[in-house]
Amino acid sequence: MFEAAELGHVIDKQTFKEEVVVLREALQQAQLELREKSSFPVVILISGVDGAGKSETIHDLYEWMDARFLSTQAFSAPSDEEAERPFMWRYWRALPPKGWIHVFAGSWYSLPIARRISGEIDQAFFDQRIDQFNRFEAMLVNEGALVLKFWFHLSRDGQKKRLKALEKDPRTAWRVTQESWERLKTYDQLQEVASHLLRMTNTPWAPWIVVEGTDDRYRSLSVGKILLDALQRRLSEVKEPHYPVAPPITQKIGTLDVLTALDLTQKLAKPDYQTRLARAQGRLAELSRAPEFKNHSLVLAFEGQDAAGKGGSIRRLVAALDPRQYQIVPVAAPTEEERAQPYLWRFWRNIPRNGRTTIFDRTWYGRVLVERVEGFCSEADWLRAYAEINDFEHELVADGVIIVKFWLQISKEEQLRRFKEREQIAFKRYKITDEDWRNREKWEAYHRAVCDMVERTSTGAAPWTLVEAEDKNFARVKVLETVCDRLEEAFYGARTSAAKVDKTGKTAKAPDVKVVADKDAKDSKGSKETTAAATAVKDTLPTVAKTPAKPNAKASARKPAAPAVKTPSVKITDKVKKTSREQEQ
């Protein structure tokens, strides 16, 4: 794979000077056009062997172009904050907005390559990362980014010669460290790993460009010309390219679906509601302060029809949490800054670190709901969004994030009643807008979009919980108990069964506040701090013996007709999560 980069290309000094004059003018003109149009960002990856001239080439680009709109993103070992978030989090935050060029000196490829050479990760895990990177880059290109990947190559003798020359020159000696010589010893391993990686990630939308690094002038001039050609080609394109094609939406037969099958008559009597609510808040208070939560973070995603009660459920939920440890993110129309980035960027930036909770009031599913129905994005964009969202959630779960997704469902008649009530009550009037009334006219279109969303994105890692929200008391308790169940299953591998509610609103059985743990977790003590409501319940209610329920890893959405306040989930043990962290970070 690297034979063509060992031919000994050389450009004389005079030719280089003449070429650079023309190249600089053309690059600056292309960069100006890029800024004026601001129609796409440019992502440049500079990778390769030590001493191949990566830094020198980046320096030349700064000299040739307008440095105000050129930025270098350098990555080394993850910081403590980065290590407590998903692997790709820091790279998402460094993506350029439209009209900008970002040069990645050390990219998402660097750490997996180093870990694979040292034997810290096996081939299977390395290939999983490769597949992840291919999907990530396909997403960037589909979002409009121009992605250029350069690999600077030197032969073993060429690298050794370059390191000696750098070490001998007082101006560059500081760049050669003991680590540089140690990495020279693993040259063969790097070539093996790099060959495999370049072959597997050399995609049509983001191909690798191998550049010989022996001659400085040849290397820099080659990169400059390739960048210029790519910019000019892209700026002249009328239509943005799109890879890959998503599966189409199929037509449904009949009226039965995941929403019409819900039993919206389920209710919870007020006395039972107060008892169950206090008990669930007590469980959540203990779980959010448990030692196991330090190895996880929690993401709660709330979607639902207008006036379905998302805000009320969120208020009851956060009453049990430490205000210093959670954040509520209301999602509305994207800002100018967010529109200049890939769609999922604004959600990635709000992913919490370990021990923290983020609650999204409306979510990344807006692309397949409101943007689909209202025509705010193309059909190709929302069709491929299903796979991109599944990838997004899979990456979070693989790194220890617990995702709980809720869709709150009410009938059209109940929504109308709540709309009218909001218009009559002064302190609720701000909740109703002209847009809410317009959305009612598209009830059926939103209904179809929700059904498609649940069918395509209710996965084992992040299943949907469909909440019958006709009765606010029932919905709030179901949300709280579902969150508790998912936390217990993530921490201990089994969860406490939530109390059953029959259709008359009677509580059959209420579990004790104490969390059920497995043998390995019995000795660990959680925080003694609980909410006042939970403390009161403990003092007044008898303890109910429990048997841990069997883990339920079913990938499909919750069967709607059952009145049990439970949700399917996937087991995420601390062992699996720890392994993922250790292998990459």
pLDDT tops 90 at residue 433: no
Q: What angle do CA 89, 92, 95 make, to 5 degrees?
A: 155
Residues 75, 64: Cα–Cα separation, whole Å: 24
**Which residue would you say has higher pLDDT here, 1 or 173?**
173
Residues 110, 75: Cα–Cα separation, whole Å: 9
pLDDT of 157 reads 86
Distance, CA of 484 to chain centre:
23
Give the CATH architecture of domain 3-236. Answer: 3-Layer(aba) Sandwich (3.40)
pLDDT tens for 84-116 read 999 999 999 999 999 999 999 989 999 999 999
* Residue that has been written with the tokens 């930025």 in this structure: 71
For 270-584, give the CATH class. Answer: alpha beta
pLDDT tens for 69-88 read 999 999 988 999 999 999 99
Task: Give the DSSP per-residue string, 268-296.
Answer: --HHHHHHHHHHHHHHHHHHHTSGGGGG-
Backbone angles phi, psi at 512, to 5 degrees: -70, 160
Burial 107-120 (b: 16+ CB within 10 A, else e): bbbebbbbbbbeee
pLDDT of 536 reads 38
Burial 20-57 (b: 16+ CB within 10 A, else e): beebbebbeebbeebeeeeebbbbbbbbbbbbbbbeeb
Rounded to an integer, the average pLDDT of 561-579 is 40
Instruction: Of 343, 375, 511, give the one whose Cα is nearest residue 449.
Output: 375
Residues 164, 155: Cα–Cα separation, whole Å: 14
pLDDT of 580 reads 53
Rounded to an integer, the average pLDDT of 12-37 is 95
pLDDT tens for 286-336 read 999 999 999 999 999 999 999 999 999 999 999 999 999 999 999 999 999
Secondary structure class of 510 (helix, strand, coil): coil
Residues 74, 105: Cα–Cα separation, whole Å: 5
Other C-beta atoms closer than 10 Å to the C-beta of 140 total 18
| Domain limits, the chain | 3-236, 270-584
> Which stretches within 74-155 are classed as H helix?
80-83, 89-93, 110-118, 123-142
Rounded to an integer, the average pLDDT of 372-386 is 93
pLDDT of 330 reads 96
Q: Report the interhelical angle of 123-142 vs 379-398 (nearest 10°).
A: 150
**Residue 573 DSSP class:** -
Sheet holding 42-48, edge to edge: 70-74, 101-105, 42-48, 146-153, 208-212
Residues 176, 171: Cα–Cα separation, whole Å: 11
pLDDT band at 245 (very low <50, low <70, confident <90, very high): low
pLDDT of 558 reads 41
Q: If 0-12 CB within 10 Å is exposed, 13-18 middle and 19+ buried, where does residue 468 land?
A: buried
Rounded to an integer, the average pLDDT of 255-259 is 90
Distance, CA of 187 to chain centre:
34
